[in-house]
A = this chain, B = another copy of it.
C-alpha cells in the first residue's frame, strides 16, 4: 500500500501516520516528491485489511493506493499452473471446451430426460437444470425444489452426465450436494458470503457466477471465500454484467476471459444464454467466448423453448443446439482445442 499525503501536511501528521503503520507491525518508507509525499508501506498489508481505511481518515492523508492484490489463494502468483476441476471424470480447464447444457428450469422428469439424452448426443458433457430458481418477482415460478433435484440425479444416473444446479439457500446446501455434482452459486448470491462458505464446505466443485455488478476483484474475492475453506474446485462463470445498454439483457464481458486467466489459475466458462437473454444472440456470442479462450460454455437447451416455464426467450431447441455445437467445434479447433468428451458412454 502507498499512503499519499496531502500537500502541506504537518510533520506531526506525518509522524502519526508512520506510528500507525508501525503499530500493526509494518514499516513505512517515505518518498518526498515535488508536489506530494508518498509513504510506501512495507510488509503484508493484506493481513491488515482495515489499515487503509484507518489511514485514509487521518489528518494530512489524502488517499491510499493498494499495491498487493487483495486475494491470494486464487491468484496466478500463488499458483502458476492452471487449476483443472475434475467432475466425475469430466475435466474443466485442461485445454478443452466443456459444454454444460440443459433446460433453465426443471419442469418434469420427461423434459429433463429428453433434454439430457439430446444434449449428450450432441456433445455436451454435463447437464444443467434449475431446481431452485431465483426470480425477481415473488409471483413467478420458483422451481420444483427437491423434487427437481431428484429428477436431475435420475437423468445423471441414466446418461452419465454430471449435474450442475444452483443452490440459493444455506438451508438447501445439503440437499443440493446430495444430488448434484457441481453446485452453482448464482449472480444474485455472488456476495452472499455465508452461502459461499457453506457450499465450499461440501467439497463439491462450485460453479461461481459473476455478480451482475461484480468487478474482477470482487469476483475473485468471492472465489477466495471458497478456496479459503479448503475447497480448490472453483469454476468461474462469466454471465454478463449490468450496464446502461438495454438492447440485450446483460453485457457479456469478453474481456473477462483473458483477465481471469491472467489474474488467476481458475478455469472460466461462459454463459451466453444469460449474457444475452436472446436466443438469436447465443450462437455468435458462444463462438466469441470460445475464441477468446473460455474453458467451456453453459447453454440453455429446452425440448420446446416456446413452452418453457422460465427463460424460454434465451433457450435453444435441439436443432439450434446441434448447429451451435458444430460451430463451437470448429472455433475450438481454430484455437487449438476440442470439445471435452470425457463423459462415460
Residue numbers of A with Cβ under 8 A of B are 2, 4, 7, 29, 31-36, 38, 40-44, 46-47, 49-50, 53-54, 56-58, 65, 67-68, 70-71, 77, 134-142, 168-171, 188-189, 191-195, 212-213, 215-218, 221, 224-225, 228, 241-248, 251-255, 257-259, 262, 275-276, 279-281, 284-285, 287-293, 305-313, 315, 327, 330-331, 333-335
User: Which of A56, A279, A308 has the most chain B CB atoms inside 10 A of its CB?
Assistant: A56
Q: Is the CB of A248 within 8 A of B242?
A: no
Q: Is the CB of B68 within 8 A of A36?
A: yes
Query: Knowing A171-B170, A218-B136, A284-B258 touch, does A57 contact B313 (C-beta < 8 A)?
Result: yes
Given A70-B139, A216-B247, 19 other A-B residues pairs in contact with their CB atoms under 8 A: A32-B42, A35-B68, A53-B313, A70-B137, A137-B221, A137-B224, A138-B221, A216-B245, A241-B244, A241-B245, A251-B253, A251-B255, A254-B284, A255-B281, A259-B281, A287-B335, A288-B288, A291-B292, A330-B335
Instruction: Tell me the minimal C-beta distance from A330 to chain B in angstroms.
Output: 4
Q: Is the CB of A312 within 8 A of B4?
A: no
Of all A-B residue pairs in the complex, the 7 with the closest CB atoms, nearest first, are A288-B292, A213-B213, A291-B291, A31-B40, A188-B191, A288-B288, A334-B334
Give CA–CA (A134, B197) in the complex, Å: 13
Give CA–CA (A140, B228) in the complex, Å: 13
- Which residues of B are found within 8 Å of A137, using beta-carbon distances? 49, 70-71, 221, 224
Q: Is the CB of A306 within 8 A of B244?
A: no
User: Which of A191, A217, A257 has the most chain B CB atoms inside 10 A of its CB?
Assistant: A191
Q: Is the CB of A255 within 8 A of B247?
A: yes
